[in-house]
Amino acid sequence: MDFTILKDNLEKKGFKVSCFDASGEAVQYLAEALKGEEIGIGGSVTIQEMGLYEELIKNNQVYWPWKPLADKNDQEMRELAHRAKIYFSSLNAVAETGELINIDGTCNRVSATLYGPKKVFFIVGANKIAPDYEQALYRARNVAAPLNCQRLKRKTPCAANGDKCYDCNSPERICRGLTVLLTKPTGADYEVILINEKLGY
């Protein structure tokens, strides 16, 4: 996939952008760039598939609720990740016009990408990219959210049918907060890592 247009639009909006043909190249780049840092990671199938945590943990203190410390519960791990100086998240959709979209249930992941860390990394597989904002929003709600509900075995209409968002009132609903970054927020550095592979949902 050619990232030229997306990269140009993201840079115009203030984001740093790094492009890679394969996830292993991105992992190597990040592992070399980050040493001796305190890093938080939000829930992410993309990051899990890349094996990024396993590399970062070699030279950094990494807090990821999916890899809890023995003496910390889920909430404590989310708080430690949120307070880290560096934060990693994937995205549910990216518009080629430059908008970044995420949906969250507990909202620890989206809140940490909005304010707190000194640098935020967004990891994006080629499958997350849509031509424009409307199609990116559609993807986040009607493709990514149902797939994540199925993965989590939630009792929701989208998990049962696997076809679209039903805007349900299920207590197991995972799409409770939606964020759209129109441009880079002030107060922190942001880098978007584009990888020419299918990663995550």
Each residue's pLDDT tens digit, 127-147: 999 999 999 999 999 999 999
Residues 102 and 119 sit within 8 Å (Cβ to Cβ)? no
Give the mean pLDDT of 171-178: 96
Residue 121 pLDDT class (50, 70, 90 cuts): very high
At 104, give phi and psi (nearest 5°).
Answer: -145, 155
Mean pLDDT over residues 63-87, rounded? 95
CA–CA dist 90, 122 (Å, integer): 5
Report residue 43: phi and psi, to 5°. -55, 125
Contact (CB, 8 A) for 15 and 190: yes
What pLDDT is attached to residue 120? 98
Place 75 in a pLDDT band, splitting at 50, 70 and 90.
Answer: very high
Residue type, 36: G
Bridge-based pairing of strands 100-104 and 177-181 is antiparallel
Give the chain's mean pLDDT: 97
- Using pLDDT thresholds of 50, 70 and 90, give the confidence band for residue 199: very high
Q: Which residues pair with 195 in a beta bridge?
A: 20, 125
pLDDT at 65: 95
Portion of the chain with pLDDT greater than 90, in percent:
100
Residue 36 banded pLDDT, cuts 50, 70, 90: very high
Confidence category of residue 63, pLDDT binned at 50, 70, 90: very high
Provide, rounded to the nearest whole percent, the portion of the chain with pLDDT above 70: 100
Query: Is the separation of the CB atoms in 63 and 86 below 8 Å?
Result: no
Contacts of 86 (CB under 8 A, 6+ apart): 34, 37, 38, 39, 40, 117, 118, 119, 120, 121
**pLDDT value of residue 147:** 94
How far is residue 100's CA from residue 186's CA, in Å, rounded to a whole number?
15
Query: What value does the mean pLDDT take over residues 8-37?
Result: 98
Q: How far, in Å, CA of 150 to CA of 161, rounded?
A: 9
